[in-house]
Amino acid sequence: MNELVSINPSNYQPIGKVKVSTPEEVAGKVEAAHKAKKAWRALGIDGRIELLRKVVAKFEQDKDRLAKLVAQEMGMPIKEARDDLASGLEYFNSYFDKANDYLKPELTFENDKELHEVYHEPYGVAAVIVPWNFPFSNFVWQCGQNLVAGNVVVFKHSEETPLFGKAIEEIVAPELPKGVFEEVYGDGAVGEMLVKGDVNLICFTGSAKTGAKINEASSSRFIPTVMELGGSAPGIIFEDTDIEAIKETVFTNRFLNCGQMCDALKRLIVHENKVEEVIAKLTKLTTTKKIGDASSEQTDIGPLVAKRQLDLLEGQVSDAVQKGAKVVVGGKRPEGLNGAYYEPTLLTGVTRKMRVWQEEVFGPVLPVVAFGTEEEAISLANDTPYGLGTYVFTQNKEQFARVAEQLESGMVSQNNVSYLNVCNPFGGYKMSGGGREHAQFGFHEVTQIKVIAREK
C-alpha cells in the first residue's frame, strides 16, 4: 500500500489521498525528533507554551474548515465536529494555564540541614498514535501535554482520517522547531514500526487488542506507555429516577457521534419497574433525530466511519436477534441513503451470551436489560472486561455513593453531571487501559520523576 485513500462515509466517494510513510521515513522522523529533544526541553515550560499558543491560534482561525473536513472525512455531524474543535481548544488552553503549577518541583522533606524535592522531567521522544473517532480532541489529548511538558512527538493519526492528520501537520510543524512535531502516515503496520522504533514513551488511544500488542512491544524494552483503550460503559437507571429529566443525557451518551465513543453508554441497565417508560421515551426521541449526510446542518446522526464498521455492527445485532433479542426500534440501514448509515437501535431481551453484551459496540445500538435489586445492577454493570466510564441515574445520594464505590470503572457520573472536565483525569480500569490524561494526572504520566536531595 503506497497511498491512503480517504473515503467520505456519507456517500462512499473518495475525497483525497496521502502517501504512506516508508520504513526509512519513519526511522528518519524518529531520528529528527531525537535531534530536537534537548533544545525543546531547554526552552522551559514558558518558552514552549509561547510557541504552542501560536499553534492554538492557527487552529482557532482554521476551525471552521477543520470541522467541515471532520464531517466529510469521518462522518461526524458538522454541529458535533464544531463542538469537538471547541472542546479540544479548551483542553489545550487548560494545559497552558496549569502546566507550571502541575510540573513545578515538589518539596518532600526539609530540615535545617537538608532539602529534598521531586522534579518532573520529560522522557524525550514520544510516539503518539490516535484513532479517528474524535480527530481533533484525540490529537490534543495525547499530544498537548507531551509537548508542554517537554517531550517531542512523532505522531500518527488513523488511516481513516489521513487528510485531517495532514491538516494537523501543516498547522503544527511550521510553528515549532524542526523535529519537535513529526508525523507519519499509514495503517497498523506503520504504527508498529513507530512503537518498535527508538522512542522513549508510547501514548496510544484505540482498541484493547492493539493496546495489548503495544504493551508486548514496549515491556521488554521497559518503555512506559499511556493507553486509553476500549469501553463498554453501563448506565444504571434506578427506580427513583425522573426519566423525563435524564432522557436526553442517556440518548446523547449513547448516540453522539453515531455511538462511536470509547466511553459511550453501551449497556443500559434499568430497574424492572422503569423499563417500559425508558423504552417509550427513548424510542420517541429517535423519531426526532435526522439521519443524513454529516455535512448538513440538519443532520443529527451521521454515518459510521466506514463500511467495515457498518458490517461489524450488523453482525453484532444479527447475533443478538438470532439468540432471542428483540429490536424495539431501528436495527437496520435506513432506506434511501447510500453510505455507512445505521438507524439508532434499541434492543431488549439481551443476555450475557450475546456479542452486544460481551463486545464493545462502536455504533448506534443500545442493549437494554432489567434488574430487580441494587446488587444485581452492580453485578451487571461490572460484567465486562472494560472499566472506562459508568453512568448512574438516581436521586438518592446515599445510594449513588454506595454504588459508585463498588463500580469497576475509572469514571462515574450521576444523572446529568458529566465527568468530562479539564480538571479531571480521563482513563479506566481493567482492559480500558493504563494511565490518565489531563490536569496534573496527565502531566505526571508523560514525565519521569527525579528526586534531588541537597544540602541547605
Catalytic (active-site) positions: 228, 262
d(CA 58, CA 51): 11
Residue among 71, 132, 145 nearest 439 (CA): 145
Taking CA atoms, 7 is separated from 37, 78, 270, 304, in Å, by: 36, 17, 39, 12
Angle at 101 between CA 99 and CA 104, to 5 degrees: 95
Q: Where are the beta strands (DSSP E) in 174-329?
A: 181-184, 201-205, 225-228, 233-237, 265-271, 326-329
Say how many C-beta atoms besides its own lie within 10 A of residue 232's C-beta. Answer: 28
CB 260 within 8 A of CB 133: yes
Residue 437 main-chain phi, psi, to 5 deg: -115, 155
Answer whether 59's CB lies under 8 Å from 111's CB.
Answer: no
Contact 330, 367 (CB under 8 A): no
Whole-angstrom distance, CA of residue 128 vs CA of residue 139: 9
Q: Are 148 and 49 in contact (CB under 8 A)?
A: yes
Handedness of CA 209, 369, 277, 401 (dihedral sign): negative
Which residue shows C-alpha cell 517531550? 151
CA atoms within 13 A on the CB side of 8: 16
Report how far Cα 235 is from the mean position of its chain's Cα atoms: 18
Cα–Cα distance measured from residue 124 to residue 40, given in angstroms and rounded to the nearest whole number = 9
Contact 171, 58 (CB under 8 A): yes
Residue from 381, 401, 380 nearest 390 by CA: 381
